[in-house]
Structure 1
Amino acid sequence: MSLNGHVVPEPSFNVIMVGSLDMPGGLRFERHTHPVHQLNWATDGVITVTADSGTWVLPSTRALWIPAEVEHSTAAIGPAVMRSVYFPLADCPIDWSEPTVIAVSPLLGQLIDHLSRDGLPADARARAEAVVFDLLEPVSVTTLELPTPADARARAVTDALRADPADDRDLASWGRFAGAGERTLARLFVGETGMTFGHWRAQNRMCAALPLLAEGMAVGTVARRVGYGTASAFVAAFRRAFGVSPGNYFSAR
C-alpha cells in the first residue's frame, strides 16, 4: 500500500526494509498507522512526529521508533529527507510499546544505508540487521508540543508568531491585533492549547530554531532570528525546553 506516494510495506516481509522520501517544508502525512514497526529518521533537515503521547522534533541525530499500529502523523519543518526503516514483527527483539527516541550514531546511519541496497546477500543482511538492533539505544528527550487554537482570534496570533517567532509584542498588544481583550486572549490560550501564551511562544521559538540549528547556523544568529537578545538567553531557554544544550541535542551520543 502507499501513503501519498510513500510505499508502506505489508506485514508479510521478513527483513528490515528502508524507504526514502524527499519532503518539502510543510509537507505533512496526517494520522495513520503501519502494520509493522517503523523507525522514522530525517537524514537531512528536521521532521516532527506526533502521536497521542506527544510530539517529537527530530534532527538528523535523532530518530523515533514507532511500534506497529500506533497512530501518528509526520511533518517536515523545512526541506527534509526522511528515511523510514520498517521492521518485521516476527522475531523482533524490540518490545517498546510507546514511541521511543533513538540516538542515530554515524554507524547506525551507515548500516541503514547499507540495508537500503538492492541485492544484498542474505548472510550479509542478517549480520547487518543484528548490529542495527544492538545500536537501537533509547535516549531521554523532552517532547515539544505546539497546538493550534480553534478560536479565530487566538489562531490569528499563533499564525503571526509562526511567521515571525521574534515578534515580542506582549499579550495586550496581541489582543488589540486580534480584537480580543488581554484576559480573554489569555483564557483562550490556556483553554485551547493547554498552555499559557508565554509558554506557547517559547515552544514556537524552539520549533523555529531547530531547523536553523540543523543547517549549522551559529547559535547567536539563531537566537536573534527567533527572538532572543543574547545567545546565552537562547541557550538557557533551549535547556529548559529540551534538558540539554543545543550542541548536545544535535550530538549523536
Structure 2
Amino acid sequence: MPLVPLKHTDPPPSNTTPSAERKLRLVARDLIAHQVLKPHSHPWGQLTYARDGMLHVIADNSTWFVPPLRAIWIPPNMVHEIRTMETAQLRALYTYAGYIPFPIEHCIVLEVSPLLRELIHSVESLDEPGPREDHLVQVILDELVHAETLPMHLAMPRDKRLKSLCESLIAEPSSTLTLEDFAQQVGASARTLSRLFEQDLGLSFGQWRQQMRLTRATSLIASGLPLSRVASELGYTSQSAFSAMFKKTFGKSPSAFYQNK
C-alpha cells in the first residue's frame, strides 16, 4: 500500500473511507518533525498509531503525548489536531461507525501489543478487499477491545488565563514558577487561579503540574534522553524521585514502559 502524501488542506482520499463492506481502512503516512494535521473531523472512528516517532494530539479540550508502541483512539465526529514532535511513521486505521470497538465518546490511549502491531502491518500490505482482509479486521477489532488503556490524558482549561498558564508550563515543564508568579503574568489573583483550576479541571495547580510533567515525560524518554536528563528537564530533584512517581502513575518503571516488545 503506497504512502499517502500529506497536505494540510487535503481531505482523506475517497478510497480510504470505511463502509459496512470494508469496516476498516488504513492510511499510511510518513511525516516530518513538527508537521501539523490541522483541526478536522470525520464520521468514522480513528486509531492513530506511530510505528516510531512521538505524536501530540489535541482533541476534546485535552492534550495527549502518544509515544511509539502506543496508539490513540479518536471517536467519530470529534474535532482533532495531530502534531508530530519528530519524524514519524503514522498509521491511521479508519473504522466504520457501525463497528466502533469502544462504547465511549472520548479519546483513550492504548498499548499496541506485538500481535496488533503485526496485524496492522498485514493490513497495510493488502491491495484488494477479500476474505483475508475480513479475517484480519475482525482480529484487529478484537485486539482493540482487549488492549490495555494508559493514563496519558491531560485536561486543558477553557478559561483563557488558565489556558495561557498551562501552555506555558507544557512548553517549559521544569519551570518552578508558583501560582503567585503566574498570577502577576495573567492578570488574576492566585486565589482566583486556584479556584479556576478546581472548577475547570477538578485538580489543584500542583496536581495538574505533576500530571503534565509525567505526561510530557513520554516524549522525552522516547527521544532517547537518559532518565537523569528527563528528571532534570521536568523539574524533579532526582532521577529516583521521577522514577518513583512515574511507576506510581503508570504501574511500570520508565525503562520497562519503553522497552521494545
Identify the TM-score tier after normalising by the shorter chain.
Answer: 0.7 to 0.9
The alignment status of 1:78 with 2:85, answered yes or no, reads: yes
1:39-67 Cα deviation digits (max 9, x unpaired): 22122223355665976542222223445
Output the TM-score relative to the length of structure 2.
0.75
Q: Is the 2:18–2:94 Cα contact (8 Å) retained in structure 1?
A: no
Counterpart of 1:146 in structure 2: which amino acid? A
Q: TM-score, normalised by structure 1?
A: 0.77
Aligned residues between the structures: 247
Corresponding residue of 2:39: 30
State the identity %: 28
1:150 corresponds in structure 2 to: 159
Distance 1:156 1:18, change over 3 A: closer
Unaligned runs of 5+ in 1: none
Q: Is 2:111–2:149's contact at 8 Å kept on the other side of the alignment?
A: no
The whole-number CA distance in structure 1 between the counterparts of 2:59 and 2:168 is 26
For the 8 Å contact 2:61–2:158, the answer to whether it is kept is: no
Select the residue among 104, 107, 114 that pairs with 2:112. Answer: 104
The verdict on how the C-alpha distance between 1:132 and 1:72 changes in structure 2, with shifts beyond 3 A counting, is: same
Change over 3 Å in CA distance of 1:129–1:243 after alignment to 2? same
For the residues of structure 1 that align with 2:61 and 2:165, how far apart are their CA atoms?
26
Q: Distance in 1 between matches of 2:40 and 2:204?
A: 26
Structure 2 Cα separation of the partners of residues 177 and 101 of structure 1: 34
> Could you list the per-position Cα deviations for residues 115-167 of structure 1 after superposition, in whole angstroms to 9, with x for gaps in the alignment?
22353573543454454345333213224223145343x44433432221111
Is 1:139 the equivalent of 2:144?
Answer: no
1:216 aligns to 2:229 (yes or no): no
Residue identity opposite 1:231 in structure 2: Q
| RMSD of aligned alpha carbons | 3.4
Deviation at 1:243, TM superposition (A): 4.1
CA contact (8 A) 2:28 2:92 kept: yes
Deviations 1:20-56 (A, max 9, x none): 2326437254352333x43221222233556659765
In the alignment, is the contact (CA less than 8 A) between 2:63 and 2:156 conserved in 1? no
| Aligned-partner residue type, residue 76 of structure 1 | R
CA distance 1:72–1:235, change in 2 (3 Å): farther
